[in-house]
Amino acid sequence: AQSVTQLDSQVPVFEEAPVELRCNYSSSVSVYLFWYVQYPNQGLQLLLKYLSGSTLVKGINGFEAEFNKSQTSFHLRKPSVHISDTAEYFCAVSEFSGCSNYKLTFGKGTLLTVNP
Amino acid sequence: GAGVSQTPSNKVTEKGKYVELRCDPISGHTALYWYRQSLGQGPEFLIYFQGTGAADDSGLPNDRFFAVRPEGSVSTLKIQRTERGDSAVYLCASSLRGGWETQYFGPGTRLLVL
């Protein structure tokens, strides 16, 4: 079984500042890693995912994340945030192989609030 | 193209009543998922359909919960004898074939059991 810990429930930042949203996972097997964003009254939208290959993954809206296997982390970063990035961000994992690679396990989410 | 849609967007019911929540996946997606998101929590997996069959229903909390997908497209999540603890946002997602492929989520149905 896997678990995901998002260390910060809320992250307030000023517009144009850099941001890092932290995610750590626990699993007995290799995993796929995902970041989803949820805007108010909207469904979850995939920002980026790590399946294999380069550990630095670039996603939509200028976000990127780095997979660190030794630290079991997958932190999300953006060098300069906009007001429109205000949303809840969820980190998720699924098994790399086997029969359950479709089953996403989510963290509790981090509310990013970008202030002017 | 159209994304995943869910109806109703909000549902208020009384304890003990029966409710049905509907999900329309993206056309052509064979895989469909239901998740439940309680307040302050991330989504939790409930059930996975591949075509018409439930390939994995291990996340359904008890036998009051049931889901169907009779024609391999629209799915209905059914909750019998609702309890206050069932109050949550129920999310539906679909993907083209399943596995590790990207899951596309609907906006959810917010269920409130009084």
**Residue A67 corresponds to which tokens in the numbers above?**
């997979």
**What is the C-alpha to C-alpha distance for residues B54 and A54, in angstroms, rounded to an integer?**
35
Q: Give the pLDDT confidence score for residue A42 in this predicted structure.
A: 85
**What is the C-alpha to C-alpha distance for residues A56 and A15, in angstroms, rounded to an integer?**
24
Q: Name the DSSP letter for residue B86.
A: G
Nearest CB partner across the interface for B103, out of A100, A104, A107? A104
- B84 φ, ψ (degrees, to nearest 5): -60, -30
Q: What is the DSSP string of A60-93?
A: GGG-EEEEETTTTEEEEEESS--GGG-EEEEEEE
Residues of chain A with pLDDT under 50: none
Q: Give the pLDDT confidence score for residue B1 in this predicted structure.
A: 57
Nearest CB partner across the interface for B48, out of A90, A102, A106? A102
Taken in order B84, B38, B60, B62, is the CA torsion positive or negative?
negative
CB contact under 8 A, A108 and B4: no
Q: Give the pLDDT confidence score for residue B80 in this predicted structure.
A: 97
CB contact under 8 A, A43 and B41: no
CB contact under 8 A, A49 and B102: yes
Q: What is the number of other CB atoms lying within 10 angstroms of the CB of residue B20?
A: 15
**Residue A20 corresponds to which tokens in the numbers above?**
């890092």
pLDDT tens, position by position, for chain B (114 residues)?
589 999 999 999 999 999 999 999 999 999 999 999 999 899 999 999 999 999 999 999 999 999 999 999 999 999 999 999 999 999 999 999 988 889 999 999 999 999
